[in-house]
A and B are shown apart, each in its own frame.
Chain A
């Protein structure tokens, strides 16, 4: 059956100018991500993984080529629309957690909702609800520096889920974590894909996690080296992901079963 493509990089190239010198970081990248799919980008340091994710997240316009999101060219849109895309259509998880230290955990998670004008009670309730699912209810009023790395990364994942986006983009989310916390975080993301049917784009260095995704895109020197498919996306996952407004009950259920 024909898979529905949610994101498609078409001949994406990115060149940086550094002190008059041009560095080509991405060369002619063609990648499509299917609805409900878990795609992992794998490759040596400096091969352009983060740059590609940034292009996908609407943070870095490509020098050439196009990024098609559900049939529309993202960078053809206004700055305003691109910001709104980052806020509500994708959830980004960074290696450095990137939480605001002046806000509490709950406020951090509620921030993308506040940015969208959601009222105080509704967004704080949702933040509390999401934080409960990742087992952080006790820490609602704490500030990020008072939490362990693993806990902070779980907060960051929760924040990425706040607006109920259909794609979760993670750039080395385990890079700053010990192996146990890393496994926990990877398990949460795996469940996000398998139970909650989120499309997941993941960059990692760790070969142990290569069995998680549906598909692995190997990058080398800014080019797609090869693609390996572990297993096809199930038709059910694809269909569920089409419905944008999922809630996360499945993730919660999984937590309770444990």
Chain B
């Protein structure tokens, strides 16, 4: 029998019991949709976390801190770092306690003294306004605005007073006060902090910085620079390290999510096996008739295999499609909810097409495997016994 005729016959068999075929296809679809949905969620969350952690420039940045108390990051150390091969920029950070005063309101903040490059290297983004470009500008967190009972966007361009308390080499507290214009607000309502430009008299030649960001020319240089910094007695870590850890964590989450999906598909596969077996019993007589009038055993087997292939193909296709659509729908709903409570719209789901393809192929494999045994039995049936079957 021609291949096309086998397909046509299988299709007619499927249509002969529409309800059952539909239910079986739905079963497979649900399994596949679950896998696609969960895997998309895993990938989406992974991509989201990485977006949150980093801006592209921060990928080539090392965070350097002293490895032990006896070592300090001073100006001479910074100059040393700058001389290392493939180092592009060196940008230190000094943190201390401070206060922000706006009109009559005052709040405590953690102050970070940094140069103009630092925030860019860190990959910081402002929610309102921008990063500072002049020495009399300051960047605050939205936590500061909250503490001052102001809307974050209202604070932008305001003139505020910043008071910093730095410690001298021998421990005496130095108070420093200045007028600043708020350049921008970083979205972080949970903590109050301020980024202050470095040339603001908070530092001297002997200041020991808390940490320093070392930007290298490209990611390939990370390892060698890291080694050079470490050999001088410092700890160095990069966001690239963090990201690879995030990938590791998410690959575990992926596996867990995919396992749930596979369980769903497994249940669907059992359902499909059941359907094919019942279809075999139901069609025992038909098989007998076909064989009696000269249809070959191999053709009978091909008809059954094609049928289960069709079921699993339709199930896989519809499942993948509805999994993607369902993910988009849930994302849409969550974003509407998020916006209604003042949150940000985020892309929570990401569906890589090669993965979808792999999942559909997987469903086909499952389909053919579950169809294999009933098909084999059908091809082995004795025509006379099959004809006697009621």
Contact = CB atoms under 8 A, between A and B. Distances in A.
Interface string B289-305: 11111111101000000
B13 interface: yes
A100 B284 CA distance: 11
A60 B299 contact: no
Contacts of A87: 293-295
A155 interface: no
Contacts of A92: 292-293
A4 interface: no
A101 B294 CA distance: 18
B16 to A, nearest CB: 4
Nearest to B291: A83
A86 B293 CA distance: 6
Contacts of B105: none
Q: Shortest 6 CB-CB distances between A and B: which pairs? A: A87-B294, A102-B16, A86-B294, A115-B295, A98-B289, A114-B5
Q: Taking each of B289, B296, B384, which has the highest tally of chain A beta carbons within 10 Å of its own beta carbon?
A: B289
A147 to B, nearest CB: 16
A100 B383 CA distance: 14
Contacts of B1: 114-117
Interface string A139-156: 000000000000000000
Contacts, number: 69
Contacts of B72: none
Nearest to B286: A100
B384 A115 contact: no
B184 to A, nearest CB: 71
A168 interface: no
Given A101-B16, A102-B13, A102-B16, A111 B293 contact: yes
Contacts of B12: 102-103
A111 B295 contact: yes
A85 B296 CA distance: 11
A89 to B, nearest CB: 9
With most chain A CB atoms within 10 A of its CB, the pick from B289, B293, B297 is: B293
B387 interface: yes
Interface of A: 54, 57, 59-60, 79-80, 83-88, 92, 94, 98-103, 111-112, 114-117, 119-120, 159-160, 163
A163 B36 CA distance: 50
11 contacts: A83-B295, A84-B294, A92-B293, A98-B289, A101-B16, A102-B15, A112-B294, A114-B1, A115-B293, A115-B294, A116-B1
Nearest to A103: B12
B169 interface: no
A114 B16 CA distance: 19
B2 interface: yes
Contacts of A111: 290, 293, 295
Given A102-B16, A114-B2, A163-B294, 4 more contacts: A83-B296, A88-B294, A111-B290, A115-B290
B230 to A, nearest CB: 75
B386 to A, nearest CB: 11
B289 A100 contact: yes
A86 B289 contact: no
B314 to A, nearest CB: 18
B350 to A, nearest CB: 44
Nearest to A88: B294
Given A92-B292, A112-B294, A115-B1, A102 B286 contact: yes
Contacts of B384: 54, 59-60
Contacts of A99: 289
A134 to B, nearest CB: 17
A58 to B, nearest CB: 9
A87 B383 CA distance: 13
Contacts of A83: 291, 294-297
A116 B288 CA distance: 17
Given A59-B383, A114-B1, A79 B297 contact: yes
Contacts of A159: 293
Contacts of A57: 292
Contacts of B383: 59
A91 B384 CA distance: 16
A120 to B, nearest CB: 8
Given A98-B387, A102-B12, A103-B12, A117 B2 contact: yes
Nearest to A162: B293
Nearest to B382: A59
A100 B296 contact: no
A111 B293 CA distance: 9
Contacts of B288: 98
A119 B296 CA distance: 17
Contacts of B2: 114, 117, 119
Contacts of B16: 101-102
Nearest to A163: B294
B5 to A, nearest CB: 5
Most buried by A among B2, B5, B296: B5
Contacts of B9: 114
Contacts of A79: 297
A84 B291 CA distance: 10
A256 to B, nearest CB: 28
Interface string B379-390: 000011001000
